[in-house]
Every structure is written in structure tokens, then in C-alpha cells.
């Protein structure tokens, strides 16, 4: 669906390098100390340094091997993330019952076929389950 | 023999109608809640702890213990069938889920059930005979020894990695870095928290596990447009005799590993599963199949899981040290009932101690019996189309995350890990070594810095402590041996590296 | 917002603030109350909260639901209660770190515990005991302090800024003992290292150390209070041990968000007092080595102010910022 995706092994190296740089840059700002009295920055700095080495090794190796194109379906992961965020927002602003409705309907669009009736049935079923969890397990979901 | 006499005494207490009922209720509730993706033993016990206030001491503790190992077993079911793990069923996601994809769910669940039974039984033998002696093992391990133990544990990376070793190693490092999020124990500095209070205590294992496995897996299944039906409809629940024979040696090995690691504080089921899996991959007759859905890959870890869950009661009941959060909750339950776990508990409350030990085995039998109808039920759940199933799984991931701190914002953290997990899955990076790094990394750092603090900054402490010295020696030996072996079989080693 | 108000709001289809339905003393409480706890089930705070909630709920004729909002040293629970509608239906069972220490330890807190909470009353106190390993040569506190001046020692705590940590620093300042702080995640692993004689010293809650003292695997040097613990009658108080002014105790009390109507607060205060007299509750506290101590709202407020005066300078002196 996206044509300009990089090769998977290159993307992998870049992803790991990004993680290493992110943590490394932050860790460098914490007190480092020394080995006999390590500061909070020492350990993460060492680990991110090691990870950066691995990532660079992967990037170098990727020049000598063939790899498939990276495949990402942005639509599904976006919908799933939105459904979870919607759940949290709805539960915070209104109540958990509405949150379940939001979760099921937004996520429902990620399914191969969306169906109003089916989504309503799932919502109803999950609200019953949530009620049971609240009643019998004492979970403070804040359903209604 | 003395122990047999005591056990008979214990069964006398556990086999009253009332206590049998508490045991059964505990097992059933634990298993059912554990089955729900995302809800594990810790959440279940902490939710149900207040309900036991009105129950007599022995009954209440029998019920809570039942909830604990029931939930432990239930967790492995959701890991095997849906690839949604909890703290102690991460490894079950590897081979167990591979078996599901091959349509062997029934066999995988049966293997997990039987292995759990074997693991539990072995652990109870250990508990009954050695509990008073083994408690002190917990005191033998100082920070330097733990540090060495954690380093040793990192060797498991090469076993839980399914793809290339370099990828597995990199994921392990990412896991260690994720484990750094939160408040630094020694200085109190908040690291990588972006000033968010929800991150001050670090990311919970539940968030990482549900995000990287569960949510990522759901999205992947949705990407693969076709309706997901890994079940061919005709599944034999009872394995054939050759299959059954494969379960036993693995389960026994797993039981021993689990029993040992359960006794050491800081370890417990979470670490035992990785160790047992590593041992199977190294020593099993079918080691080449492990990783692609082998019985051994499920049996060893399931047995270790249950065994460690039970032997982790040893430090609690013999010296009063709760070695993991679940045991800390159990300790609170003991105290609430007016029983102080500790050096005098077995002498002061023999009825409780032996009753609990006996009830563990009774609970074991309950779980085995529960297994059969449960597996049938699960297979019918999977006849439900994925379109209906996946929103429900998402919902349970939310509930599971919420139940850790009763904080809705934690769900956003799980969602973020879902995104990261999805990216990693697309990059063909393995989440299992990430979990290993996430669990071991923070402990390695904490123990290392504590060892340095206590020794006054002298690295010699790692060599002077006998346990630490021998563990470090063993680690070095294995690493050197691996390198030598891979150099000797160079073409092979290279091929594995490139895969 | 609490659940019932949410439903009402939803049914009306309007987002009316629940404050409009202000509680009056005659009808209060007309629906379940929520008692927020910043720590996980099983801990001392949770135990006090559940016992108090059960008895108070019975006394007031409405259920009081305990809601564990764990995380960030109790700050997550505090900020939740501070932001709640001050109608008496959202309360907190808080402890000294939440109400006193955290405001000095966390400079970036979004609320001020002194201003945003109003005390209802104190519920309980936890005694702290100073212990050493039985392998230690020191038989009393002055001897121990002298020993560490010869050869510096180590002490454990359940975390940076914990009562254990700050209390030991108080003792160090008073006695001239020389010890390095070794922080742990919680009390259990720390006590393990004292038992194994890897750590020289620790101050911890009575419930955490008393079983070992009785079993003879730890030696208690002092009870950090003005009276001896009935459970450990042979252990001298800190005054008897020679350091009169360093009382270290953990306390728990009930709080409401500021601006809660005074008549509601009065009703809750009376309910709390009555609950703490209940023998059943006293037994539950006793089993967990928790001492029921009631202070009314005014006395409690004065006590908290004094605690701030005491701990603020120590935290500043140590340069602790989390």
C-alpha cells in the first residue's frame, strides 16, 4: 500500500539506531559516575552504546544481503491505536460503558467488513462481562 | 516417616468439605480469570484479597493459593491460543502459539496441563521435605551473587531467539533500555519518564507484554485479510502415546529447574520459564524442533512455571521473606489472618502449613480435571469469527492493564507498546528476548550498584563471594565454548547468523 | 467524578458539574463513598483503609469503597483526590510520605498537600524499630554508633526519601554514626540483607522486624518511639537508649479535598472516631502491629504542621530531590 517503503533490514538497523540514540542522548545528561560508584546514567549509556554498535553492524551488513520490502498497513494499526485512546478518553470523560462502545466501533473498522449490528452485539456482551468483573472481582471500572 | 506423617496430618486439614470447597473455588476462579487475556495472578489476588477477610485462616489461604496457581495456569492458555502472555507465560507464546498456528491447540493445551501437574507435584515434594531447610538458601544470595545470576540469565537470549542471534541480542538490549524507564532506586532520579507520573514507577511488565505480543499480534492478524482459522475442526484432545512420552522428560527437567529457581528471591516463575526453555533447547532430544511448535517447548516451561509458583512459598513460609509481588500479597494475607510467616510459622501453625501444602496437591488435581472441559471450551471459542473475537481481546487488554494500578492512563502506555510491538513485528524483530532483557536488565543494574555500595566500590566482591565467582566462571565458560564451537563449524554458524 | 453522579449526568444528557448537587449534612451520605489509597492491597495503608472503611461505612449507613490508585509514591492517588469534587464522596487514606515528605522530595508536584487537603482525623501509627544483625558486636545504640565511627558501616532503607531513610539520617545526625545509605525496592529485600549481615543497620516498621527479633535472628536496639512496644517489652525506647528527641513513626489519617463542606467533615470525623473504638478493628490493627491513634481534625492539622517543620529541613539538608 505504501510504495516508498525501505528494505526491511535497513529499516531494522535504522529503528534500532534510533532507539539507541534516543536513550543514549537522554542518559548522557544524567550523572554518569564511575564503575565503583555508578550514577544513574552509566548503565543506560553503556547499553545504548552497545545497541548502537549492533545497529551499525546491521546497517553495514544490509549492504551485502538482499531483503524484502518493509510492509506496513498503516490503516489497521492506526485504527487500533485510536480505539484504545478513545477507550481511555471516553472512560475518563464519561464512563466505561461508552468507552467499550468507542473501542468496539473504532476497532471494528479494522475488520475486513464492518457491521453495525455485530458491533452493537459485541458492545452489549462486553458490558455484561465488565459488569460481572465489577460485581464479582471488585474491579473499579466505573461502568455507568 | 516424619514428613509422611505430617502430610497425612495436612491432608486431614485440607480434605474437610469446607477447605476442599475453598480450594476448588480458588482454582476455578483463578483459572477463569487467568484465562482472560491480560489478567494475571497478581491482579486477581489483589482484587480478591478483601473477599477472604471473612473466611477462616486456613480456608482463606488455601483459596488464595488456589487462585495463584490457577491463574498461573490460565495465563498459559491465553498465551498458547492468542499469543497474549502474562508475566509468567511469555515463553509459552513461542512454541505454544506455533502449535496453535499448526492446528495443534488441543495438544498444546493438554501438554501445558499435564506438565503443570507434574511440575506442581515435584514442587510439593520439595516443599514438604525441604521447606524448613531450604529457606536459608534465600539468605545465601547477596547482591553480588544476584548480579552474577542475572548475567548468567542473559545467556538464555540465544535460546529464546527464533531468528538471527544478532537480532535477538539487539532486542534484549532494547528490553534492558525499556526497563530503565522509571525511578532509579539508588538516587531517586526519574529516568526517561518525560515527567509523566504514570511512568514514575516504570513500565509494568503487563503493559510491555500485552503491547508487544497481544496488540501487535491482533494488528498483524487484521493485516492478513483472510479470516483467521488455525483450527481444522477435528482436534484430538488426548495425545497419542509417542506424543505423551515426549512430555514427561521435558516436564521433569522443567520441574527441577522451576523448583530451584522458585526458592531464590527475585526469581520465581517469571525467570524459571526462560531457564526451563533454554534447558530444553540445549538438552532435549527434539531440540531442533523447538521454536517451531514442539511439545518440549511447551512442556518444560509449563512445568517450571507451576513448580516455581509453589516453591516460591518456601522463603515466605520458612523465613518470612516474600520474594516477588505475588508472595508479598500472600504475606499480607497471612498477616491479616494473624499468622506471621517466618521462622516460627511451621512450628506455631502446623495445621496451616501442612494443610496448605496438601491443598496445593489437591488443587493440582482440580486443575488437571478442569483442563479437559476447559480445552473443549476454548476450542469452541475459536469457532467464533475473528471479527467478533478481536474487539473483545482488545477490551481485556485494557482491563488487564487497568487492573495493575487502577489507572486508565496506563492503557495509553500499553497502546504505545502495541505500536512499538507492531513496528518490531514488521521488522521481524522478536519480542521474547526483549522481555528477557526487560526483566533481567533492571535487576542486573540494581544488584550491581548495590554490591558496589556495600563493598565500598570494590569489584573484588564478585570474585570473593563463592556463589558469584562460580556463576561468573560458568557464564564465561559457556560463552567461550559457544564461540569456539561456532568457529569450528564456521559455515554452519554463519548460516545461522544470516538467517 | 463518582459513578452515581456520572450516571445522573448522562441520564440528563447535560454535563452539569456535580457540585451543583452540593451535599448537606442531613442527607450525607446518600450514596457510596470512595476511599482512595495510594498503595497496593496488602500494605499497612491498605490494611488501615479497609478496616476503617468497613467500620465507618457501617456507622454512616453507606458503603465506603476502597480504591487502590497505586504509583509514584502515592502522588497519583493524591492528585486524583485533590482534583475530585469536594463533596465528601471522594476521600483519601493518606500516610506521612504523601502528606509531608513528598512535597519536599518532589519539587514539581502539581498540587500542594498542605493547601489542597483538609484533614479529617488521624487513624493509626506504626512504630519503627532499629535493628542490627545478631552477628553485630553492638549491644546498644551508643556502642553501635561508636563502632561505625571506627569502621564506617552501611544501612538499608526501602527507598530514597522513605521514612526508614530519613529516620536513620536523623539518628546519624544525633549520634555521629557513620553509615552509607543502601536503598532497596521495598522493605523485604532490605531486611533479608540485614538478616544475612550484609547490612549493618536498619530502621523498619515493627510488623516487618518483630518476628525476627522474637526468633532471635535480628537484634533490636531501640523502639523509635516515646513508649516501648507491648510486643517487644525488653527493647528500650529511643529516649532510654540516649537519643531523646528522635521519634520516628509512620502515621495514617483520613483526608478530604480542600473546600469540602465543614458539616460533612464533622460527620466524617465523628464516624472515624467511632470506627477506631470498634474492638474488631482494634484486633485487626493489633495483628498487623498497627497502633490505632485518633487525633481530631485540629490536633491532626497541628501535628502535620509540626511534621513538616521536622522533615523539611532534613530533606533539604540531605539535598534530596526526586
pLDDT at C9: 40
Cβ-Cβ contacts under 8 Å, A94 against chain C:
6, 10
Closest chain B CA to residue C76: B197
> How many angstroms away from the CA of C12 is the closest CA of chain A?
13
A135 CA: distance to closest CA in chain C (Å): 13
Q: Which residue of C has its CA nearest to A141?
A: C3
Q: What is the DSSP string of C296-309?
A: EHHHHHHHHHHHHH
From chain C, the residues in CB contact with A95 under 8 A are 3, 6-7, 10
| A101 chain-C contacts, CB cut-off 8 A | none
- Is pLDDT of A2 > 60? no
CATH superfamily of this structure's domain C3-7+32-125+251-318: Bordetella uptake gene, domain 1 (3.40.190.150)
Higher pLDDT, C113 or B346: C113
Residue C259 near chain A (CB below 8 Å): no
Whether residue B408 and residue A91 make contact (CB cut-off 8 A), yes or no, is: yes
For residues B65-78, give the mean pLDDT: 87
**Element of type H or E holding C94:** strand C90-95
- pLDDT tier at B56, thresholds 50, 70, 90: confident
3-state secondary structure B56-125: CHHHHHHHHHHHHHHHHHHHHHHHHHHCCCCCCCCCHHHHHHHHHHCCCHHHHHHHHHHHHHHHHHHHHH
C261 touches chain B (CB under 8 A): no
Closest residue to C211, CB basis, from B332, B342, B406: B342
Task: Compute the average pLDDT of residues C166-189.
Answer: 90
What does the pLDDT average to over C79-85? 89
* Helix-then-strand count for chain C, H and E: 13, 10
- Residues of C in Cβ contact (< 8 Å) with B42: none
What pLDDT does C10 receive?
Answer: 42
Residue B475 CA to residue B473 CA, distance in Å, equals 5
How far, in Å, CA of B72 to CA of B88, rounded? Answer: 7
Q: What digits encode the pLDDT tens for the residues C85-118?
A: 898 899 999 999 999 988 888 888 888 888 899 9
Residues 357-396 on B with a CB inside 8 Å of A are 386-388, 390-392, 394-395
Q: CB of C316 within 8 Å of any CB in chain B?
A: no
Residues of C in contact with B446 (CB under 8 A): 185
Q: From the CA of B43, how many Å to the nearest CA of chain C?
A: 10
Cβ-based contacts of C75 with chain B (< 8 Å): 197, 200
- By DSSP bridging, strand A33-34 and strand A37-38 are antiparallel
Whether residue B321 lies within 8 A of chain C, CB to CB, comes out as yes
- pLDDT tens-place string over residues C248-295: 989 999 999 999 999 999 999 999 999 999 998 898 888 888 899 999
Residue showing cell 552504546: A49
Interface test with A, best of B31, B50, B222 (most A CBs within 10 A): B222
Question: Pick from C257, B158, B387, B450: which is nearest to A122 by CA?
Answer: B387
pLDDT tens-digit series, residues B83-109: 888 888 888 888 988 888 888 888 888
Q: Tell me, what's the pLDDT at C2?
A: 41
C22-31 exposure pattern, b = at least 16 Cβ within 10 A, e = fewer: ebeeeebbee
Cβ <8 Å between A107 and B448: no
Give the residue-averaged pLDDT of B461-469. 91
For residue B498, count other CB atoms closer than 10 A to its CB.
Answer: 11
- Among B residues 243-272, those touching chain C with beta carbons less than 8 Å apart: 265-266
Residue range B253-264: average pLDDT? 90
pLDDT value at position B489? 63
β-pairing verdict for C249-257 and C117-133: antiparallel
Binding-face residues of B in 56-95 toward C, CB within 8 A: none
> Which of B:253-282 have CB within 8 Å of A?
none
Q: Are residues A70 and A11 in contact, defined by beta-carbon separation less than 8 angstroms?
A: yes
- Give me the pLDDT at residue B412, please: 94
Number of B to C CB contacts under 8 A, please give it: 129
Q: Does C3 touch chain A (CB under 8 A)?
A: yes
Per the structure block, which three cell numbers stand in for B74?
490460565
Each residue of A58-102: pLDDT tens digit? 999 888 887 778 888 888 999 999 999 999 999 988 888 999 999
Cβ of A17 under 8 Å from any chain C Cβ?
no
Would the pLDDT of C185 be above 50?
Answer: yes
- CA–CA distance from C147 to each of B424, C139, C170 (Å)? 56, 11, 18
Distance CA C318, CA C312 (A): 10
Backbone angles phi, psi at A8, to 5 degrees: -65, -40
pLDDT winner (highest mean) among B9-23, C36-50, C138-152: C138-152
Domain C127-223 has CATH 3.40.190.10: yes
Give CA–CA dist B72/C203, Å, rounded: 36
In this prediction, residue B491 has a pLDDT band, given cuts at 50, 70 and 90, of low
**Partner B contacted by C191 (CB < 8 A):** yes
- Model confidence at B49, in pLDDT bands (50, 70, 90)? confident
Share of chain B above pLDDT 70, in %: 94
Mutation for testing the A interface, residue in C2, C4, C5, C6 having most A CBs under 10 Å: C6
Tell me if C188 and B322 make a contact (CB, 8 A cut-off). yes
Q: Cβ of C10 under 8 Å from any chain A Cβ? A: yes
C67 touches chain A (CB under 8 A): yes
Distance separating alpha carbons of residues C153 and C181, to the nearest angstrom: 9
Evaluate whether A102 touches C29 at the Cβ level (below 8 Å).
Answer: no
Q: Which of C71, C108, C198 sits opposite B454 (nearest CB)?
A: C198
pLDDT per position as a tens digit, B195-250? 888 888 889 888 999 999 989 988 988 887 655 555 545 556 677 888 888 889 99
| Residue in the structure block whose three cell numbers are 454512616 | C60
- Residue B49: closest CA among C41, C207, C37, A133: C41
For A72-91, give the DSSP string.
--HHHHHHHHHHHHHHHHHH
Helix spans in chain A (H): 8-27, 42-62, 74-93, 96-108, 116-137
Can you list the alpha helix ranges (DSSP code H) found in C42-162? Answer: 44-60, 75-83, 96, 102-105, 113-116, 141-150
Q: What is the domain partition of chain C in residue ranges?
A: 3-7+32-125+251-318, 127-223
Within 10 A of B340 (CB to CB), how many other CB atoms are there? 22
Helix boundaries (H) for C128-247: 141-150, 163-175, 187-195, 206-215
Quick one: average pLDDT of B153-169?
A: 84
Please indicate whether, in this complex, the C-beta atoms of A142 and C65 are within 8 angstroms of each other: no
Judge if C3-7+32-125+251-318 and C127-223 fold alike in CATH terms.
Answer: yes
Q: Is residue C6 less than 8 Å (CB to CB) from chain A?
A: yes
Q: Quick check: B379 pLDDT over 50?
A: yes
pLDDT digits (tens, 9 = 90+) for A5-47: 778 889 999 999 999 999 999 999 999 888 778 889 999 999 9
- Compare CB distances from C211 to B142, B320, B404 and report the shortest one's residue: B320
Q: Do C188 and B201 touch (CB under 8 A)?
A: no
Residue C322 burial (C-beta neighbours within 10 Å; 0-12, 13-18, 19+): buried
Residue C3 has a pLDDT of 42
A144 in contact with C at a CB cutoff of 8 Å? yes
Question: Chain A residue with minimal CA distance to B168?
Answer: A54
Q: Which residue has the cell 505454544?
A: B96
The per-residue pLDDT for range B269-310, each reduced to its tens digit, is 888 899 999 888 888 888 888 888 888 889 999 999 999 989
**Nearest partner of B70 among B18, B22, B17, judged by Cα:** B22
Name chain B contacts of A13, Cβ cutoff 8 Å: none
Ramachandran region, residue C36 (left: φ > 0; alpha: ψ -120 to 50; beta: rest): beta
User: CA torsion sign, B33 to B35 to B39 to B40?
Assistant: positive
Q: Is C195 on the interface with A (CB under 8 A)?
A: no
Q: The cell 553480588 sits on which residue?
A: B144
Distance from CA of A144 to the nearest CA of C (A): 6
Residue in A94, A140, A144 closest to C67 by CB: A140
pLDDT number for residue B137: 76
Instruction: List chain C residues with CB under 8 Å of A127.
Output: none
Q: Report the neighbours of B using a cutoff of 3 or more CB pairs below 8 angstroms.
A: A, C
* pLDDT value at residue B179: 93
Residues of A in contact with B189 (CB under 8 A): 30-31, 40
pLDDT range class, residue B497, cuts 50, 70, 90: very low
> Is the predicted pLDDT of residue B495 greater than 50, yes or no?
no
Strands B182-183 and A33-34, how do they pair? unpaired
Chain B residues close to A73, C-beta within 8 Å? 219, 222-223
Integer Cα distance of B321 and A143 in angstroms = 38
Chain B contacts of A19, Cβ < 8 Å? Answer: 174, 177
Q: Give the pLDDT band of residue C4 (cuts 50, 70, 90).
A: very low
Residue-wise pLDDT tens digits, C12-67? 433 334 444 444 556 888 888 899 998 877 778 888 998 899 889 888 888 888 88
Q: Residues with Cβ < 8 Å from A76, sequence gap 6 or more?
A: A110, B219, B222, B223
Q: Is pLDDT of B380 > 80?
A: no
Q: How far apart are CA B204 and CA A123, in angstroms?
A: 28
Between A and C, how many residue pairs show a Cβ–Cβ distance under 8 A? 15
Q: Neighbouring chains of C at 3+ CB pairs within 8 Å?
A: A, B
pLDDT of residue B473: 93
**How high is the mean pLDDT of chain C?**
86
Set of chain C residues whose Cβ sits within 8 Å of the Cβ of A142 = 3, 6
**Beta-bridge partner residues of B54:** none
Q: What is the mean pLDDT of residues C139-147?
A: 93
The x, y and z cell numbers of residue B223, run together, are: 493485516
Q: How confident is the model at residue A135 (pLDDT cuts 50, 70, 90)?
A: confident
Q: Is the pLDDT of residue B438 over 70?
A: yes
The rounded distance, in Å, linking the Cα atoms of B339 and B269 is 25
Q: What is the pLDDT of residue B82?
A: 84
DSSP string, B180-210: T-EE-TTT--EES-TT-GGGTT---HHHHHI
**Alpha-carbon separation of residue C279 from B56, B337, B371, B392, C284 (angstroms):** 18, 16, 45, 46, 9
Is residue C253 within 8 Å of C123, Cβ to Cβ?
Answer: yes
Q: Report how far residue C234's alpha carbon sits from residue C249's, in angstroms, rounded to the nearest whole number.
A: 19
CB contact under 8 A, B222 and A76: yes
Amino acid at each position: 500500500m505504501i510504495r516508498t517503503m525501505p528494505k526491511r533490514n535497513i529499516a531494522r538497523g535504522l529503528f534500532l539506531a534510533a532507539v539507541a540514540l534516543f536513550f543514549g542522548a537522554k542518559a548522557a545528561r544524567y550523572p554518569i559516575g564511575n564503575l565503583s560508584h555508578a550514577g544513574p546514567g552509566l548503565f543506560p549509556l553503556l547499553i545504548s552504546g552497545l545497541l548502537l554498535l549492533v545497529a551499525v553492524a546491521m546497517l553495514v551488513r544490509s549492504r551485502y544481503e538482499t531483503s524484502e520490502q518493509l510492509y506496513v498497513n498503516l490503516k489497521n494499526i492506526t485504527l487500533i491505536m485510536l480505539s484504545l485512546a478513545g477507550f481511555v478518553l471516553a472512560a475518563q470523560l464519561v464512563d466505561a460503558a461508552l468507552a467499550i462502545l468507542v473501542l468496539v466501533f473504532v476497532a471494528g473498522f479494522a475488520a475486513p467488513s464492518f457491521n453495525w449490528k455485530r458491533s452493537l452485539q459485541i458492545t452489549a456482551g462486553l458490558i455484561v462481562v465488565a459488569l460481572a468483573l465489577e460485581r464479582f472481582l471488585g474491579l473499579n471500572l466505573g461502568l455507568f | 516417616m516424619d514428613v509422611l506423617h505430617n502430610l497425612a496430618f495436612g491432608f486431614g486439614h485440607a480434605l474437610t468439605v469446607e477447605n476442599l470447597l475453598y480450594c476448588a473455588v480458588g482454582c476455578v476462579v483463578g483459572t477463569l480469570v487467568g484465562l482472560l487475556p491480560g489478567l494475571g495472578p497478581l491482579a486477581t489476588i489483589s482484587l480478591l484479597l478483601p473477599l477472604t477477610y471473612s473466611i477462616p485462616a486456613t480456608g482463606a489461604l488455601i483459596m488464595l493459593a488456589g487462585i495463584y496457581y490457577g491463574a498461573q495456569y490460565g495465563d498459559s492458555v491465553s498465551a498458547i491460543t492468542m499469543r497474549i502472555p502474562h508475566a509468567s507465560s511469555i515463553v509459552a507464546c513461542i512454541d505454544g502459539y506455533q502449535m496453535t498456528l499448526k492446528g495443534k491447540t488441543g495438544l498444546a493445551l493438554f501438554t501445558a496441563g499435564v506438565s503443570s501437574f507434574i511440575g506442581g507435584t515435584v514442587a510439593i515434594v520439595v516443599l514438604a521435605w525441604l521447606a524448613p531447610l531450604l529457606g536459608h538458601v534465600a539468605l545465601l544470595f547477596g547482591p553480588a551473587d544476584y548480579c552474577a545470576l542475572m548475567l548468567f540469565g542473559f545467556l538464555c537470549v540465544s535460546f529464546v531467539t527464533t531468528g538471527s542471534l544478532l537480532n535477538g541480542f539487539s532486542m534484549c538490549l532494547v528490553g534492558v533500555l525499556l526497563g530503565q524507564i522509571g525511578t532509579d532506586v539508588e538516587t531517586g532520579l526519574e529516568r526517561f519518564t518525560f515527567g509523566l507520573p504514570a511512568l514514575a514507577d516504570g513500565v509494568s511488565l503487563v503493559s510491555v507484554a500485552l503491547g508487544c505480543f497481544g496488540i501487535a499480534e491482533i494488528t498483524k492478524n487484521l493485516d492478513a485479510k483472510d479470516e483467521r482459522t488455525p483450527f481444522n475442526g477435528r482436534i484430538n484432545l488426548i495425545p497419542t502415546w509417542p506424543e505423551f512420552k515426549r512430555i514427561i522428560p521435558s516436564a521433569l527437567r522443567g520441574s527441577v529447574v522451576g523448583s530451584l529457581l522458585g526458592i531464590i528471591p527475585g526469581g520465581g516463575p517469571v525467570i524459571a520459564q526462560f531457564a526451563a526453555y533454554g534447558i530444553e533447547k540445549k538438552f532435549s532430544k527434539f531440540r531442533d524442533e523447538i521454536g517451531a511448535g514442539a511439545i518440549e517447548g511447551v512442556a518444560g516451561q509449563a512445568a517450571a512455571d507451576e513448580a516455581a509458583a509453589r516453591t516460591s512459598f518456601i522463603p515466605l513460609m520458612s523465613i518470612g521473606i516474600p520474594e516477588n509481588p505475588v508472595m508479598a500479597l500472600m504475606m499480607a494475607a497471612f498477616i491479616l489472618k494473624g499468622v506471621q510467616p517466618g521462622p516460627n510459622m511451621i512450628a506455631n501453625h502446623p495445621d496451616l502449613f501442612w494443610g496448605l501444602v496438601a491443598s496445593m496437591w489437591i488443587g493440582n488435581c482440580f486443575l488437571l480435571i478442569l483442563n479437559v472441559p476447559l480445552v473443549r471450551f476454548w476450542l469452541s471459542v475459536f469457532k467464533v469469527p475473528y471479527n467478533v473475537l478481536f474487539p473483545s481481546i482488545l477490551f481485556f487488554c485494557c482491563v488487564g492493564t487497568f487492573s495493575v494500578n487502577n489507572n486508565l492512563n496506563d492503557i495509553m502506555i500499553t497502546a504505545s507498546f502495541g505500536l512499538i510491538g507492531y513496528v518490531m513485528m514488521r521488522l521481524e524483530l522478536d519480542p521474547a528476548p526483549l522481555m528477557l532483557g526487560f526483566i533481567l536488565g533492571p535487576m542486573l543494574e540494581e544488584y550491581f550498584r548495590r554490591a558496589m555500595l556495600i563493598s565500598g566500590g570494590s569489584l573484588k566482591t564478585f570474585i570473593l563471594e563463592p556463589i558469584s565467582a562460580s556463576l561468573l566462571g560458568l557464564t564465561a565458560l559457556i560463552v567461550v565454548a559457544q564461540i569456539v564451537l561456532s568457529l569450528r563449524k564456521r559455515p554452519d554458524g554463519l548460516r545461522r547468523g544470516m538467517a | 467524578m463518582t459513578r452515581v453522579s456520572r450516571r445522573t449526568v448522562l441520564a440528563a444528557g447535560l454535563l452539569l458539574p456535580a457540585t451543583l448537587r452540593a451535599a448537606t449534612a442531613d442527607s450525607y451520605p446518600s450514596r457510596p463513598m470512595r476511599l482512595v489509597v495510594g498503595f497496593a492491597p496488602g500494605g499497612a495503608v491498605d490494611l488501615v483503609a479497609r478496616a476503617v472503611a468497613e467500620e465507618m461505612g457501617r456507622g454512616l449507613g453507606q458503603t465506603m469503597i476502597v480504591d487502590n490508585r497505586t504509583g509514584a509514591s502515592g502522588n497519583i492517588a493524591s492528585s486524583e483526590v485533590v482534583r475530585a469534587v469536594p463533596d465528601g464522596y471522594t476521600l483519601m487514606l493518606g500516610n506521612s510520605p504523601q502528606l509531608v515528605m513528598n512535597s519536599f522530595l518532589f519539587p514539581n508536584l502539581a498540587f500542594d498537600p498542605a493547601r489542597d487537603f483538609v484533614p479529617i482525623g488521624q487513624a493509626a501509627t506504626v512504630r519503627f524499630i532499629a535493628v542490627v544483625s545478631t552477628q553485630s558486636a553492638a549491644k546498644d545504640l551508643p556502642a553501635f554508633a561508636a563502632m561505625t565511627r571506627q569502621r564506617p558501616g552501611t544501612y538499608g532503607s526501602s527507598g530514597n526519601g522513605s521514612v526508614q531513610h530519613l529516620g536513620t539520617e536523623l539518628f546519624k545526625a544525633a549520634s555521629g554514626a557513620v553509615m552509607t545509605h543502601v536503598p532497596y525496592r521495598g522493605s523485604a529485600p532490605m531486611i533479608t540483607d540485614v538478616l544475612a549481615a550484609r547490612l549493618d543497620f536498619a530502621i523498619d516498621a515493627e510488623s516487618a522486624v518483630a518476628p525476627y527479633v522474637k526468633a532471635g535472628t535480628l537484634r533490636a536496639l531501640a523502639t523509635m518511639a516515646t513508649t516501648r512496644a507491648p510486643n517487644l517489652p525488653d527493647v528500650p525506647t529511643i529516649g532510654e537508649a540516649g537519643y531523646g528527641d528522635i521519634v520516628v513513626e509512620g502515621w495514617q489519617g483520613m483526608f478530604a479535598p480542600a473546600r469540602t463542606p465543614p458539616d460533612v467533615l464533622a460527620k466524617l470525623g465523628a464516624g472515624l472516631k467511632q470506627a477506631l473504638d470498634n474492638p474488631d478493628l482494634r484486633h485487626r490493627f493489633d495483628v498487623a502491629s498497627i497502633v490505632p491513634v485518633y487525633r481530631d481534625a485540629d490536633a491532626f492539622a497541628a501535628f502535620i504542621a509540626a511534621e513538616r517543620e521536622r522533615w523539611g529541613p532534613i530533606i533539604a539538608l540531605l539535598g534530596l530531590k526526586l
